[in-house]
Amino acid sequence: MHILSFAIRTSLAGRLTTWYTGTSILLLTAATGLLYWALISELNRDGDLFFTDKVNVIRTILREQPRDREALREEVQLESAARTYDQFYIRLLDERGDVVMETPRMGQQLNSASFPDASPGPPFHGLSTTNKTGIPFGVLSTRVPVGNAGNVLWTMQIAVNRTQQRELLARYRHWLWSIWACAFVFCPLLGYRIATRGTRPLQRIGETARRISSQTLNERIDPAGYPVELATLAQVFNAMLDRLEDSFARLSQFSADLAHELRTPVNNIRGEAEVALARARSVDDYREVLGSCLEEAARLSQLISDLLFLARSENPGEHLRPQELPVLTIFSTVHDYFEANAAQQGVDLVIECDPALHAEVDRQLIQRAVGNLVANALAHSKRGGIVTLQASQDNGTLHVRVLDTGTGIPAEDLPRVFDRFYRVDRSRSPGSGGAGLGLAIVKGIVTLHHGTVSMKSNVSDGTSVTIRLPLVSRHRTGDMQEGLQNAIAR
């Protein structure tokens, strides 16, 4: 019993079986109970019709031919005596209560005291009783007028043997119990079979999930032939595996790239030191080697601090020191920082920003993000190109955009440029750019600010990166003119 209740609580098939069995037996009980009740009602109705019929016949005879004893005998004695099933008995009592006529042997079955008081009717409703030997009867008693005057009233007692009816009901009940017992045995078996068949796809999903490890992330469930609900589950499961596989691939790529990025400066330092130590050198030579080693060490330390920053930026809410400031201030600081560089490259660095636009941001971080975007834009712009810092607002969102007219990014690389260490130039030669962390850092900073970042690029037109942040709108119209003039002046 304990094991059974444990199985019902823990197994889905057990629960489904219990529900199925319970519901089936409940429905069966209700249906058979209803049929049994309907059968009893039908039998009673038949019995009442019979009573009404007999009373009407006797009434007619007594009213129209009160002296015709033959007709009465025919009805009261002969007809009932000729009956084998559902034997009935009629007794007529005169106004003093003396028996005028009765069906033979009626006195042995039921005396006149066994009948109820005369009921008015029609319609007539017989009552149930049993005689002293235990035979069941339907009984009725009513007054019948004798002659047309209607002042003489006899009593008519009528009884129907209901043994046949009782046996019929007993047989019916027997059948019901048999059906009920079969249902009690077969419903759980059938229910269990249905439940295990229905949950088989779930088991298959479970088996697949159990088989999956980092080496077998390519496994998928084939939802063909599954019911809709489980096919959806299988598709959701497959989609989750797609994401896991992708994340895993990115993580592996990240580890490989990290190793590569760390190895290059370390190898350089080591190589230069080995070459320097191979023979005696001048102080200037040693100075040059040390300078070069320092450069590599600085690169290494920059890489490590970038990685640490990225790791920290994954803890939302941390390291943020938000302050409300005009977007133009951020742009100006970045502009000042890159101005000389841009001029040297022959690239125009332009600001287009409404000075009324304010943002609530961590100034250092946002400057770093915008700075990374400008650094990328400058790195991929040709002489004569334009790099624009643009800000606008739309539906409570601040859009900070860095546009360039540079080389652009091929469409197939776009979805991955925000990944750590991802560079369009896969050769990863040290001369061809940074470590590939700049955009990942931008994304980290924007996420910390509850914003989003996206990139559009086209190999012919250049690139535009948009940062979307929740807006702090302060329209200081007085400042606006001055700001616009500033913007145009740049």
**Amino acid (1-letter code) at residue 190:** L
Which one among 436, 444, 451, 483 touches ligand ATP, defined by CB under 6 A? 436
Residue 463 in contact with ligand ATP, rule: CB under 6 A: yes
The DSSP bridge partners found for residue 161 are 137
Which one among 14, 434, 451, 483 touches ligand ATP, defined by CB under 6 A? 434
Residue 144 in contact with ligand ATP, rule: CB under 6 A: no
3-class secondary structure, 182:
helix
Torsion 246-250-255-259 (CA) sign:
positive
**Shortest distance, position 244 Cβ to ligand ATP, whole Å:** 24
Chain contacts with Mg ion (rule: CB under 5 A): 376, 438
Euclidean distance between CA atoms 402 and 463, whole angstroms: 8
Euclidean distance between CA atoms 313 and 241, whole angstroms: 26
Euclidean distance between CA atoms 297 and 230, whole angstroms: 56
Stretch that binds ligand ATP, among 31-39, 132-140, 196-204, 429-437 (CB under 6 A): 429-437
The DSSP bridge partners found for residue 157 are 91, 141
Euclidean distance between CA atoms 86 and 79, whole angstroms: 12
Residue 385 in contact with ligand ATP, rule: CB under 6 A: no
Residue 356 vs 377, nearer CB to Mg ion: 377
In this structure, the dihedral spanned by the alpha carbons of residues 45, 49, 51 and 53, taken in order and rounded to 10 degrees, is 180
Residue 208 vs 463, nearer CB to ligand ATP: 463
Stretch that binds ligand ATP, among 17-25, 153-161, 359-367, 404-412 (CB under 6 A): 404-412
Residue 376 in contact with ligand ATP, rule: CB under 6 A: yes
Name the closest residue to Mg ion (Cβ). 438
The DSSP bridge partners found for residue 91 are 102, 157
Stretch that binds ligand ATP, among 13-21, 246-254, 332-340, 420-428 (CB under 6 A): 420-428
Residue 438 in contact with ligand ATP, rule: CB under 6 A: yes
Residue 401 vs 468, nearer CB to ligand ATP: 401
CB hemisphere CA count around 323 (13 angstroms): 11
Residue 223 vs 438, nearer CB to Mg ion: 438
Q: Write out the two tokens for 146.
A: 């004798």
Question: At CB < 8 A and 24+ separation, what contacts does 474-479 make?
Answer: 474/324, 474/356, 474/358, 475/356, 476/355, 476/356, 477/356, 479/326, 479/355, 479/356
Name the closest residue to ligand ATP (Cβ). 434
Specify the DSSP class assigned to residue 75.
Answer: I
**Shortest distance, position 317 Cβ to ligand ATP, whole Å:** 24
**Shortest distance, position 391 Cβ to ligand ATP, whole Å:** 18
Which one among 110, 361, 369, 409 touches ligand ATP, defined by CB under 6 A? 409
**Shortest distance, position 455 Cβ to ligand ATP, whole Å:** 8
Which one among 126, 404, 444, 471 touches ligand ATP, defined by CB under 6 A? 404
Burial class (CB in 10 A: 0-12, 13-18, 19+), 442: buried
**Shortest distance, position 440 Cβ to ligand ATP, whole Å:** 6
**Shortest distance, position 283 Cβ to Mg ion, whole Å:** 37
3-class secondary structure, 411:
coil
Torsion 323-329-333-338 (CA) sign:
positive
Stretch that binds ligand ATP, among 132-140, 203-211, 416-424, 470-478 (CB under 6 A): 416-424
Question: Which of ligand ATP, Mg ion, none lies near 70, with the C-beta cut-off 5 to 8 A by kind?
Answer: none
Which one among 191, 406, 444, 451 touches ligand ATP, defined by CB under 6 A? 406
Q: How far does CA 232 lie from the centroid of its chain?
A: 10
Question: Which of Mg ion, ligand ATP, none lies near 444, with the C-beta cut-off 5 to 8 A by kind?
Answer: none
CB hemisphere CA count around 295 (13 angstroms): 9
Residue 192 vs 421, nearer CB to ligand ATP: 421
Residue 358 in contact with ligand ATP, rule: CB under 6 A: no
Which residues lie near ligand ATP (CB under 6 A)?
372, 376-377, 380, 404, 406-409, 417, 422-425, 433-440, 463
